[in-house]
Structure 1
Amino acid sequence: MLPLGVAVWVVLEIWLLVLIGGAAGGFTVFLLLAAAVVAGGAVIKRAGRRAFRNLNRTLKTRGAADPQAEQHDEQHTEGNGLLMLAGLLLIVPGPLSDVLGLLLLVPPVRQAVSRAAERMMERRLRTAVPGTWGDAFQQARMHQKDGKVVQGEVVQDDEPPTRRNDSGPRPPLTG
């Protein structure tokens, strides 16, 4: 279904570009596409800088337990991924992807999409079959807010691997 969905998306984007080009002219379409690429690049750059700044702040204050700083960090780190997705959608040529990218730039829309995606992931994780990726993600989420980690199992080999000590001839590779 995914390849079919991508094909339909591409055909729809091209059809809309042709309609806009017929109504406003080819040069206008070119300017719109160029402006969207520049805007998308700026959005991705801003979101990347913001994420890097938050990472540095988190690494510097890792030992300090400041509830106000944690609340501030949580407010400013949410949505970096969706901002980057918005920039990517702006860079992808086509009016439909541009509209979706612009919608993701609106904070209430971005928050609603974030909450919906989180609910969907939690639903999938609850119904995950043990031993699948969902199980691994569920285990990764076991970190507590206070920095403690839920106890797990560590498997460690006490014996080093043994070397094969054959001095005789090896059998041929083909049979």
Structure 2
Amino acid sequence: MTTGASTPTYPARPRRSRLLRFLPLGIAAWLVLEIWLLTVVAGAASGFTVFLLLVAGFVLGSVVIKRAGRRAFRVLSETLQQQQSGGVLPQGERGAEGNGLMMLGGLLLMLPGLISDALGLLLLIPPLQKALSRYGERTFERKMREATPGTLGDAFQQARIHRPDGKVVPGEVIREDVPRGTGEDTGSPRPPLNS
């Protein structure tokens, strides 16, 4: 006996990206490598030397994060003072450039492990900070241009569409220049925007 009711169909689950698929495996391999390297150094020198290296990395990382935070706060307060006084913000001045990478370097220094310490020290080198910053900006801009509907990049693109007064205007574009009956416009009523 059939009831005539069909089972609901659910949309297919989107595939996980390669990065998200292999990220847990990469983190596990990194942790094993860090522990192995610490045991090798402890065997070559002593356990106390490894302890001193870890403490020194933690202290240096906290100093770096504190310095980057103060620099970012100083740039923010100067920007706010210039805006309140009616001054024009200089476009070429980038006083806060590298603060994020400096904080990331400090965080990597604070994590226990020698590989993370080496990566943290590399992120403190100014030419490398500038190169990584430029690469990150180019990658972000490329991903924004390639944004497809339904992705996070598309949400950022949609958020950038707003009126001159700053209000976001949701809607759809109705092309007046397409004559009816050409295949693009069927003449049927359009579904509502919010679904």
State TM-score, norm by structure 1. Answer: 0.76
Q: How does 1:99-110 map to 2 (within 5 A)?
A: 99-110=118-129
Would you say 1:153 and 2:176 are equivalent positions?
no
Aligned equivalents of 2:165, 2:131: Cα separation in 1: 30
Aligned equivalents of 1:120, 1:111: Cα separation in 2: 14
Would you say 1:127 and 2:151 are equivalent positions?
no
The alpha-carbon deviation at position 130 of structure 1 amounts to: 2.3
Aligned equivalents of 2:53, 2:111: Cα separation in 1: 12
Cα offsets for 1:136-163 (capped at 9, x unmatched): 33355679xxxx87774169xxxxxxxx
Check whether the contact 1:82–1:104 (CA below 8 A) recurs between aligned residues. Answer: yes
> What is the DSSP-based 3-state SS (H/G/I as helix, E as strand, rest coil) of the residue aligned with 1:71?
coil
Aligned equivalents of 2:137, 2:105: Cα separation in 1: 18
Would you say 1:85 and 2:85 are equivalent positions?
no
Q: 1:142 to 1:27 in 2, by over 3 A?
A: farther
Tell me what 1:22 maps to: 43
Cα offsets for 1:82-135 (capped at 9, x unmatched): 010000000011110000000000000111111122222222212111242112
Check whether the contact 2:62–2:110 (CA below 8 A) recurs between aligned residues. Answer: yes
Check whether the contact 2:159–2:168 (CA below 8 A) recurs between aligned residues. Answer: no
Aligned equivalents of 1:83, 1:29: Cα separation in 2: 24
Q: Segments of 4+ in structure 1 off by > 6 A?
A: 148-151
Check whether the contact 2:161–2:169 (CA below 8 A) recurs between aligned residues. Answer: no
Aligned equivalents of 1:53, 1:15: Cα separation in 2: 41
Aligned equivalents of 1:141, 1:87: Cα separation in 2: 33
Cα offsets for 1:6-48 (capped at 9, x unmatched): 1011011111111111111110000000000000000000001
Tell me what 1:162 maps to: none
Aligned equivalents of 1:51, 1:82: Cα separation in 2: 12
Tell me what 2:117 maps to: 98
Check whether the contact 1:43–1:87 (CA below 8 A) recurs between aligned residues. Answer: yes
Would you say 1:48 and 2:48 are equivalent positions?
no
Identity %, equivalent residues? 59
Check whether the contact 1:37–1:90 (CA below 8 A) recurs between aligned residues. Answer: yes
Any gaps of 5 or more consecutive residues in structure 1? 156-175
Higher RCO (C-alpha under 8 Å, 6+ residues apart) = 1
Aligned equivalents of 2:45, 2:59: Cα separation in 1: 21
Any gaps of 5 or more consecutive residues in structure 2? 1-21, 172-195
Tell me what 2:78 maps to: 57
Aligned equivalents of 1:20, 1:149: Cα separation in 2: 61
Q: Which has the larger radius of gyration?
A: 2
Check whether the contact 1:40–1:87 (CA below 8 A) recurs between aligned residues. Answer: yes
State TM-score, norm by structure 2. Answer: 0.68
Q: 1:122 to 1:66 in 2, by over 3 A?
A: closer
